[in-house]
Structure formats: C-alpha cells, structure tokens
Structure 1
Amino acid sequence: MYKIMFVCHGNICRSPMAEFIMKKLVTDSGMSDQFHIASSATSTEELGNTVYPPARAELAKHGIGCARKTAVRLMKSDYDKFDYFIGMDTANIRNMKHIFGSDSGGKIFKLLTFASRGDDVSDPWYSRDFSKAYSDIEEGCKGLLSSIIKQK
C-alpha cells in the first residue's frame, strides 16, 4: 500500500484538491485498493474548516467531490505513517521539515517535481486562479502516480 499525504498551508485549497484529484486518478486506474491518500496543513488557522468553496467548485467542475473533508494539521507522528509527503510550495517543504525535525527517510517532495518542473503550485487563496491551481495539481498528481507505477 502506498500512503500519500498532500500538504499545504491551511488544508482548505491546494492539498485537499490534490487529495481528491489523486483519489480519482487511482480509482480511474483501478488501483484505489493500493493507496491511502490524505491531506493536511502546516498551520492551525483553518483547522476544522471545510474545503474553501471556490476550490470545492473547481473540483466539482471536473466531477470530483470532497464532501466531509475538513482541515487537519500535519503532526510529527505522521512521518512514520506515510511514504510520501507532497508539498505544494517551497514554504510547505520548509514547514514540514520543521514539524518533523528532519527528512531522514527522504519522504518529502514538492508536487511539481513530478511534472518535471521546479516551481510552486501558486496559492489560489491569493491568486484566485483555481483553474490554474487545478491544472498544476492534476499535472503533478499524474506525474506522481506515473513515478510510483514505474517503481513497482
């Protein structure tokens, strides 16, 4: 079983979008029983809040639901429970390493590295471009899934 945790600042836009996009990709590929996929925040400011309505609407445009998802915080204890920690931007990577104390297992990655890009997924909370965020996240998730399949 592959265990993936997507991470962003508040867990109300990018990381839940990634969680549910990836769940759809693995379901569509017939491999949902081989994956455990979740998402979390590096901050505490949105804990308990649902997915931000424009992010939820963008997912819905693509036939993806995210009902009952609420923001949760990444915990140090999560490091031993997951194989991959996928951050949306450089700040997420830095904050994950701070929460975990290190990345001794080499489990922390920036999402768009799986799309052969080094840039960040821009935060639609600020850019208001949820369509661009969706496109970037989908591209990164497809690359991540492809990378995992090649490693099998």
Structure 2
Amino acid sequence: MVNVLFVCHGNICRSPMAQFVLQYFVEKMDLSDSFSKIRSAATSTEEIGNTVYPPIAKILDRLDIDYKNKKARQITKSDCREYDYIIVMDDNNLRNLFYLHSDIDKTKVSKLLDYTETPMDVDDPWYTRDFERTFEEIKQGCVGFLKMLKQKGIIEYDENLLDKISDKI
C-alpha cells in the first residue's frame, strides 16, 4: 500500500489540490486498494486550521471532489517516517522541508513535476493568480506519478483509462 504526502507552503492551494486530484484518479481507476493514504501538509504554520483557498475550492467543486473536511496542517516528524512519497511543489518547499526535518529520508522526497517530461516548480497561484494553470501542472504531475508507480511495478492499471480520465478533467 502506497502512502503519499503532498507538501507546499501553506497547505491551502497546491498541496491539497494535488491530494484531491490524485485521489480522484485513484478512485476513478479503481486503485484504492493500492493506496493507504493520500494527504497534504504545509511547511509553514501560517494557514494552520484554514480551509482550501476559495479559487482552489471552485476547481474542485467543478470536478465534484469533496474537500470540505480539509484543514491546513504542518508536516510532522511522524509524517516524514510514515509516508513513502513526500512530494513538494517547488524548491522553496524543498528547502523549508529539509530545514524543518533535516533527518528526513531524502530518497522519499521529490518535486511533483519531476514525474513529468518538463521537471520544474509548480507555480504558486497565490502569487500568479493563475489557478487553472496550476491545476493543469498538478494534473500532469499526478499522471506522471501514477505512470512511475506502474513502471516500477507498484501498481497496475490500463493506460488508456488513465488517458481517458486525464482528458476528462
């Protein structure tokens, strides 16, 4: 069973969007038995307890994804041990994560778009205001992550189904 934790600065935009987009793919592809946890957290304490940022909620509503119980939280030491994959959105998140938890197993840590053909940072829509672009980047990263898991033999699925679902959302 795979445990995935997405991490961004405040845990109200990118990381919860990634959490819910990956959950969407997992549910639609009937892969729930392969995943134990898909969650998200922040490196900062700025937004702890806050809900998903409204423009992100609007995108998730459009996909009919339930996010209502999500509250921002900070990554913990136990998270660093518990999760198989800790996926950050950008280099700043990476630096902050390593500062907070210098003893983390770095082999578990990656950036989301490292799973795509164009590795780079996921733009922070808090600053760019381009929430749709961020959604597309996160969707591409989640697709790439699932492909990597299949390539490593960790999960099995029909690639045509992944493409069909990706095109639909």
- The interval holding the TM-score normalised by the smaller chain is over 0.9
**Residue in structure 2 matched with residue 118 of structure 1 by the alignment:** 119
CA distance in structure 2 between the aligned counterparts of 1:2 and 1:72, rounded to whole angstroms: 21
1:18 paired with 2:47, answer no
Deviation for aligned residue 1:63: 2.8
Deviation for aligned residue 1:104: 3.2
In 2 relative to 1, CA 150–34 (structure 1 residues): closer, same or farther, beyond 3 Å?
same
Task: Note the 1:52-67 alignment, pairs <5 A.
Answer: 52-67=53-68
CA distance in structure 1 between the aligned counterparts of 2:62 and 2:23, rounded to whole angstroms: 16
CA RMSD of aligned residues (A): 1.1
CA distance in structure 2 between the aligned counterparts of 1:138 and 1:4, rounded to whole angstroms: 15
TM-score normalised by the chain length of structure 2: 0.86
> Which range moves more in the overlay, 26-35 or 58-67?
58-67
> Which range moves more in the overlay, 55-64 or 86-95?
55-64
CA distance in structure 2 between the aligned counterparts of 1:86 and 1:104, rounded to whole angstroms: 13
> Which range moves more in the overlay, 140-149 or 54-63?
54-63
Deviations 1:78-106 (A, max 9, x none): 11100000000011111111222144350
CA distance in structure 2 between the aligned counterparts of 1:24 and 1:52, rounded to whole angstroms: 19
TM-score normalised by the chain length of structure 1: 0.95
For the 8 Å contact 2:3–2:85, the answer to whether it is kept is yes
Number of matched residues? 152
- SS in structure 1 opposite 2:107? coil
CA distance in structure 2 between the aligned counterparts of 1:102 and 1:145, rounded to whole angstroms: 27
For the 8 Å contact 2:80–2:105, the answer to whether it is kept is no
- SS in structure 1 opposite 2:5? strand
Percent identical pairs in the alignment equals 44
**Residue in structure 2 matched with residue 88 of structure 1 by the alignment:** 89
For the 8 Å contact 1:56–1:65, the answer to whether it is kept is no
Deviations 1:40-98 (A, max 9, x none): 00000000000001111012223322111000100122111000000000111111112
Rg larger for:
2
